[in-house]
Amino acid sequence: MSTGPMYTVSVEAMVLVALHAARHGTQAVNGLLLGRKDDSTSEVVVESAVPMFHTALGLAPLTEAAIALITEYSDTVGLTVVGAYHANELNFDRTLALSAQAICARLRVSAPDACVLVVNNATLGELLSRKGEQAAASVHRMASELFDLYAARTGTEFALRADTRCDDRAVSAIVDAVSKERLHRGLVDMDDHFDDVAVDFRNDELKQQIRTLVKTSQPRVL
């Protein structure tokens, strides 16, 4: 039986993470998760995400700068940094990368319940392929297998949480966002922002497009 808070991941957060992975499909990517904790229920709700890197995942100075900028931004939208996400470079690699563990350990200084969301590249690839709709058993199966969520335990240990709630609507939204609307092409991460400060790492326009898409996406029986 798992201990600690329950984690719920919103459609917007799942789509943003998937778009970052799709945008840089041959590279590892990471970012931070924004949300809030309900102290009355001990539930951590992941509401959004901010993409960080697709090249400089292990560089501490850039990571610290990115965390500082994203933390400042999260304050302006009434959220807090509640964790990180990571997609490995290889398709079938679902391990919790050392760089992701390091970021989470850094976040635990101010957020003891910080978690790490790891993208299941194989399931995401299956979902976005033509064979995905034929091979998938159900929408719920796809939603539940898109990500692995690790919660920090004592010290430097992490525990895989099987009780994480992921919204099934994200499956349809991810397919529409990538395959139909090509929204991943407009995603900006911190690598892009540090190269050109004129590009906006907050992705506010993209998030609005995602929210509109979620309202209009038709449920898929996969």
**CB of 200 within 8 A of CB of 160?**
no
Angle between helices 121-128 and 11-23 (to 10 degrees): 90
Count the Cβ atoms, other than its own, within 10 Å of residue 97. Answer: 19
3-state SS, residue 87: strand
> Has residue 146 got a pLDDT over 60?
yes
Q: Decide which of 161 and 210 is more confident.
A: 210
The yes-or-no verdict on residue 76 having pLDDT over 60 is: yes
**Computed from CA positions of residues 86, 89, 91, 94, in that sequence, does the dihedral angle turn out positive or negative?**
negative
pLDDT higher than threshold 50 for residue 198: yes
- Local structure of residue 177 (DSSP, 8 states): I
Q: What's the mean pLDDT when you consider all of the chain?
A: 85
Task: Report the side by side order of strands in the sheet with 29-38.
Answer: 158-161, 147-152, 115-119, 80-87, 29-38, 43-53, 6-9, 165-166
The reply to whether the predicted model has a pTM over 0.85 is yes
Q: Is the pLDDT of residue 206 over 90?
A: yes
Question: Mean pLDDT across the stretch 45-67?
Answer: 90
Report residue 119 CA to chain centroid gap.
8
- Among 120, 118, 110, residue whose Cα is nearest residue 151: 118
